[in-house]
Amino acid sequence: MGASLPTLFRRPAILWSVLAAALAAAVVTVLLVVPGTDDGPADGNGDYLDASLPVDERVDDLLSRMTIEEKVGQMTQVTVGAIDPYPTDVAEYGIGSLLNGGSEALFSTAEEWAAMIDGHQAQALDTRLGIPLMYGIDAVHGNTAIPGAVVFPHNIGLGAAHDPGLAGRAAAVTAAETRAAGIHWTFAPCVCVARDSRWGRTYESYGEDPGLAFEYAGPVVQGYQGEDLAANTSVLATAKHYVGDGGTAYGSSTTEDYLLDQGVTTLTEDELRSIHLAPFQAAVDAGVGSVMASFSSTDIGGGPVKAHADEYLITEVLKGELGFDGFVVSDWQAVDQLSDDYNEAVRTAINAGVDMVMVPFEYKAFIAALLAEVESGGVSVERIDDAVSRILAQKFALGLFEHPDADTAGAADIGSDAHREVAREAAAASQTLLRNDGDLLPLTGQESIYVAGSGADSIGRQTGGWTASWQGSLNPPTEGTTILAGIQQVAPDAAVTFSEDASAPVEGADVGIVVVAEDPYAEGVGDAGAGDHDMAVSEADAAAIATVCGAVECVVIVVSGRPVEIEPHLGATGAGSGVDALVAAWLPGSEGAGVADPLFGATPYNGRLPVTWPHQTDDEPLNVGDPGYDPLFAFGFGLQTA
């Protein structure tokens, strides 16, 4: 860019008149190329601070006062781990948003979270215009970044409950427990439609039928955002991942042959609209404030196009046809995948309609690249202004200009009995009874019960991925009630013997309960065939089924984020001959008593399969309506009890 002003002032005086004239000409040129740069009062004065004015007027006023650097800063989202060593960079670069990555440091209390975020907020406020930042997190089934927070069933279980209103109440609790920690924004709900259960994100979907996602999107968005987005119980919601990520074909990923995640969804445009796009319309109609683009690609004819580069689907369809007036945020470092030339990648994403980029690390490089693209004309100022206007509108709606610091008044309610009761209700409603020979269930609660299996006494397995960390953990710092403890709580008169591997003698038990489970996983890593994760029952759990169900009447409870290959382990029925009752518990969250409630008749079994349950993994993809449809248990199946 040439010499800095201090260097110029040290030039010989004889040159100064020439240099000053050149500098003045350069400034005029910049102002012509980049209009709207600080033509109003500085230091945070202006109509945009008047809360009585309509949001659009406040946005227009603030935008007119911003330099191009300030605008690009608002379009930048940085992971907190990258900014923490350099806290003043929030102010220096005008960073618009921070996020918590899936495996970054956690805090034990809401107050600790709030103090950290307020520290960064102070940097944002200590700028010329004092534009507050937004902080985002993956509170996808509860704010699991706080150990005492309630953890709800993952979406697959909520879909099995067939109760969008209940899911909305769960979202409202999550919102309150998230905002109380000073966090403004959740990257939820996922309104993807899972068409292949080998996908490691199946549990993030409400099911294989677009009707389910369509029904849930509105109530869940409203649950997160509430009646007033500025309230201390509301958070900005994110409909994700736009669009078609649940339809990727096995082996279409550019990362590994066996992966579905980040792969290609190939179908007609009519199919894309009817299956994958419809839930986003419901989310938009509910007023969702942000939409996250998908890592995946879509091929509706003419070859695959990365979602982050798809101007047709983002700008024309989402923002145009669907009428979305919030902002589009990229997924984690996804823009980098668009080109080996970073400037080209940035230009492509922004011109496609991405408004905020989850960088998440190299924010200086991103800012420099976007500024260079604006200067060269690769990205227009009009596109920048559109993006920034959308972002600022949500910040005004969140009330951040009036109340930028965290309000922790609701911190005392985090993990409260009332909140846990909603999670327990959701867990109970999601329980799906697939076999009940001889009406074994519900149990009376007076039996001598033998409990086995890896999922019986494991908070980590019943909460699954995206719990305190990205991939989840067998030992997350999450408080809750295991399924075993729930059995003991709901049936205090039962004589319960627990032996995870079924090594203790079974003799003398009236009934056995074997809780089989998947280990936690998330996207990519959880795709069937990726590493240690598949859809098979583990050898240890299979042995427990054989031992317990070979001795007494037994119930098998499956804790999983998708169907598993259970048919080889079912056997005949009757005492000592096989599995008499089979329950899909999904990933029920922190309240294991909800699994026990219908087991003992405290609530009925009413869950219905939100996805088709195949005979074997190789049957996938298998969806209701497919030619030759022949599942083990059909979509929508579920036995009821009184």
For 23-33, what is the mean pLDDT?
A: 33
Segment 332-359 mean pLDDT: 98
Return the number of other C-beta atoms located less than 10 Å from residue 80's C-beta: 20
Average pLDDT over residues 574-585: 86
Q: Could you confirm whether 340 is annotated as catalytic?
A: no
Q: CATH 3.40.50.1700: does it fit domain 431-619?
A: yes
Average pLDDT over residues 54-74: 98
How far from chain centre, in Å, is Cα 616? 28
pLDDT in tens, 6-20: 222 222 232 223 223
Q: Does pLDDT of 35 surpass 50?
A: no
The pLDDT assigned to 12 comes to: 28
Confidence of residue 608 (pLDDT cuts 50, 70, 90): very high
pLDDT band (50, 70, 90) for residue 574: low
Characterise 555 by phi-psi region: left (phi > 0), alpha (psi -120 to 50), beta (else). beta
DSSP 246: G
The order of strands in the sheet holding 581-586 is: 432-436, 581-586, 553-559, 511-517, 448-452, 495-498
Secondary structure string (H, E, C) spanning 8-74: HHCCCHHHHHHHHHHHHHHHHHHHHHCCCCCCCCCCCCCHHHCCCCCHHHHHHHHHHHCCHHHHHHH
Choose among 453, 477, 617, 467: nearest CA to 533: 617
pLDDT band at 575, cuts 50/70/90? low
Of 535, 530, 497, 526, nearest to 514 by C-alpha is 497
Q: Name the nearest CA neighbour of 596 among 449, 464, 478.
A: 449
Q: What pLDDT, on the 0 to 100 scale, is given for residue 531?
A: 73
> Which one is catalytic: 523, 591, 597, 620?
523
Least confident piece of the model among 17-26, 44-53, 135-144: 17-26
Cβ of 497: how many Cβ atoms within 10 Å?
15
Q: Which residue has the tokens 């979305």?
A: 324
Q: With bands split at pLDDT 50, 70 and 90, how would you rate the model's confidence at 591?
A: very high
Contact 453, 500 (CB under 8 A): yes
Q: Which residues pair with residue 436 across a beta bridge?
A: 581
72-92 average pLDDT score: 97
pLDDT in tens, 364-408: 999 999 999 999 999 999 999 999 999 999 999 999 999 999 999
Give the residue range(s) of CATH 3.20.20.300 domains in the chain. Answer: 34-411
Q: CATH 3.40.50.1700 region(s) of the chain?
A: 431-619
- Is position 215 annotated as part of the catalytic site? no
CATH superfamily placement of domain 34-411: Glycoside hydrolase, family 3, N-terminal domain (3.20.20.300)
pLDDT at 254: 72
How confident is the model over 505-509, as a mean pLDDT? 97
Q: Which pLDDT does position 475 carry in this prediction?
A: 95
pLDDT confidence of residue 27? 32
Q: Can you tell me the mean pLDDT for 80-91? A: 96
556 beta partners = 514, 582
Query: How confident is the prediction for the chain on average, in pLDDT?
Result: 92
pLDDT band at 347 (very low <50, low <70, confident <90, very high): very high
pLDDT, average across residues 274-300: 98
Could you read off the pLDDT of 233-261 as tens digits, one per residue?
999 999 999 999 999 998 888 777 668 99
Give yes or no for residue 121 having a pLDDT over 60. yes
Predicted confidence at residue 270, as pLDDT, reads 98
Closest CA to 136 of 287, 365, 329, 409: 329
Q: In this predicted model, what pLDDT tens digit does every residue of 158-185 receive, in sequence order?
A: 999 999 999 999 999 999 999 999 999 9
